[in-house]
Amino acid sequence: MAELREVVYVDGVRTAFGRATPDGLFARTRADDMAVKAVRELLRRNEQLPPERIDDVVFAATAQVGDQGLTLGRDVALLAGLPTTVPGFAVDRMCAGALTATTAGAGEIAMGAADVVLVGGVEHMGHHPMGEDVDFNPRFVAERLIDESAAVMGQTAENLHDELPHLRKDASDAYAVESQRRAGKAWDAGVMDEMVIPMSVFTDEGWKVAERDEFLRPDTTMEALATLRTPFRAGGRVTAGNSAGLTDGATAALVASRDAASELGLDAKMRLLGFAYAGVEPHLMGLGPIPATRKVLARAGLTIDDVDLFELNEPFAVQVLSWCDGIGVSPDDPRLNPYGGAIACGHPLAATGVRLMAQLARGFRDRPGSRYGLTALCIGMGMGAAVLWENLQNSG
C-alpha cells in the first residue's frame, strides 16, 4: 500500500458575517452566491493555480435545503466558473461542516486520489433558521435517547453551567468582553482585512458593500452585559452578549498535497498533522472538543503544552470555559483566540471551520517560533472536533 501523502493548508477566505435578520447584510443575497464569491476571491488570490488542477470541491451546510441545497460542492463549482471536469459534493456535520469538508478533502489527498481540493462552508441562518424543516424522530424523547434540551443550543449552554457550577456567569461575561476587545484590535490592525473579502449586496437601502462583521462590538462592557436578559431560562446565565450571534456567511479554503503545492507555486502555510472527532451526551454538546482534543494530541504524541496557538469556536462563552477547564488552559491565555472569536464575529454554523483555520495560519505568521496549533469546536447533538496543524511559516 502506498504511503500517505502530506496535506497542507494553502489559503482561506471568508465573507463578512452578517446578522441573520430581515435587515441583515445578506438578507437579499443567496447562500450559494455567498459561497461562490468566496471561491472566486480565493482563486483570484492564488492565480497560479490552474482551475482544472482542482480535483474536488467539498462544501458544507447544516441546512441543506433551498439556496444552500443541491449537491453544494458541485453547485458552487459550476456557479464559480470551474471547469465541468471538476466534481464536488456536500457534507453536513453541523458546526464542524467546514472542518469536516477539510478532513474529507485531506483524506482524498493523503490517499493519492487528489492533489488539490477546494473546501468550505456556508450558512444562511436568515433564510434557514436552525432546526427549521427538521423532523426530529419522536423516539429521541419518548425513549429517552436524548434529553429534550439537546435540540436547543442555548439550553445546552445553560446545562454546562449546571454541570460545572464553578463556571459562573461573570466569568462568561468577562470572556465575552475580551473576545470583543481582541476582535476589535485585530480589525484595527488589518488582520481581518487579509481574510475577509468584501461583497456587494443588495439591501432595502440599495446596493452596499458587506465588508465588516455586524456583531462586532469592541466597546462591550461588563456593566452592559449584566443587564441582558437570559432567553433560555429564567434567571439563567446565557445571554446574547456572551453567545455568538445568529449569522449568515461563507468561507472557502485550498488544501493540497505538499508536493503539488510546491509544483504549482502555492504557499503552503500549515501542515495537517491529525484530526479527531468525538461524541458526548447530546445535552452537554459543549463538552465535545475536550475528548476530541485529547484524542488528536494522543495520536500525535503531543501534550497540550506543546501547542502554541488555539483557535476554538465560541458559540457560548461557557463552552470555551468548559474546554479550558477540562484541558487545563487559562481562559485568558494569550495562545487562545488571539484575534477574538465567534462571540464578536458570529457563528454561521457550517462555515466556521475555515475561519478558525485562516486565523490560525495568520497567528502562526505573527508568532515566529510557533510550531503547533489546534482548531477545535463543539457540534450539535453531542460531538466535538479537533484538527492539529504544524506551522510551515517563519522557517527562515
Mean pLDDT computed over 132-151 = 87
Round to whole Å and give the CA distance between 197 and 188.
16
Active-site annotation holds for 166: no
* Phi, psi values for residue 153, rounded to 5°: -60, -40
Q: Which amino acid is at 186?
A: A
Active-site annotation holds for 345: no
Q: Which pLDDT score, from 0 to 100, does residue 395 have?
A: 56
Total residues found in the chain within this entry: 396
Residues with Cβ within 8 Å of residue 213, at least 6 apart in sequence: 16, 17, 18, 183, 192, 196, 344, 345, 346
Mean pLDDT computed over 79-87 = 98
Active-site annotation holds for 378: yes
Which of the following is catalytic: 124, 128, 283, 378?
Answer: 378
Whether the per-residue pLDDT at 29 is higher than 50: the answer is yes
The predicted model scores a pTM of 0.97
Q: Where are the domains of the chain?
A: 146-191+274-390
Which of the following is catalytic: 95, 128, 161, 345?
Answer: 95
Round to whole Å and give the CA distance between 352 and 368.
25
Spatial contact of 266 and 254, defined as CB atoms under 8 Å apart: yes
Q: What is the pLDDT confidence band of residue 396, given thresholds at 50, 70 and 90?
A: very low
Residue 66: exposure state from Cβ atoms within 10 A (0-12, 13-18, ≥19): middle
Round to whole Å and give the CA distance between 114 and 84.
16
Q: Which amino acid is at 196?
A: V
Considering the chain, what is the average pLDDT of its residues? 96
- To which H or E segment does residue 43 belong? helix 31-45
Residue 336's closest CA among 374, 294, 369, 297? 374
> Which tens digit of pLDDT belongs to each residue from 222-269?
999 999 999 999 999 999 999 999 999 999 999 999 999 999 999 999
CATH number given to 146-191+274-390: 3.40.47.10
Neighbours of 279 (CB within 10 A): 14
Q: Which pLDDT score, from 0 to 100, does residue 134 have?
A: 85
Round to whole Å and give the CA distance between 74 and 165.
46
Whether the per-residue pLDDT at 394 is higher than 80: the answer is no
Cell numbers describing residue 298: 494522543
- To which H or E segment does residue 12 belong? strand 7-15
